[in-house]
Amino acid sequence: MEKVKRQWGIPKGMEACHTAVWHERYIFEGHVPAVYIRKFLASPPEGSVGLLVPGMPVGSPGMEAQGAFAPYNIYLLLKNGDYRLYARVENPGAV
């Protein structure tokens, strides 16, 4: 998977355990909630190539743990390898 992550320009330190490539056009790294993937695909911001959720935040999709939750960020990955905040998930009901 390291090769795929580097090919798509996922910055060091922004990696996660899951990587999905959509139609060889966009990448979704980590536990990105489906609602944000759908929002992104409906209107991809100019210059973007995907979304990132680094690590494995407690309470993110697939990381639910007996009701535990920690707020986490979703980042927009840009074509030039930079990234910026796309959304902040403050509570589990938001996904």
**DSSP secondary structure letters along 21-82:** EETTTEEEEES--HHHHHHHHHSPPTTEEEEEE-S--TTSTT--BTTB---EEEEEEETTS-
For residues 53-59, give the mean pLDDT: 82
- Predicted confidence (pLDDT) per residue in 37-55, tens digit: 999 999 999 999 999 999 8
Domains of the chain by residue range: 2-94
Residue 22 has pLDDT above 90, yes or no: yes
Provide mean pLDDT across the span 54-62.
78
**pLDDT exceeding 90 applies to what percent of the chain?**
53
**Distance between CA atoms of 3 and 35, rounded to whole angstroms?**
27
pTM: 0.88
Tokens encoding 5: 């992550």
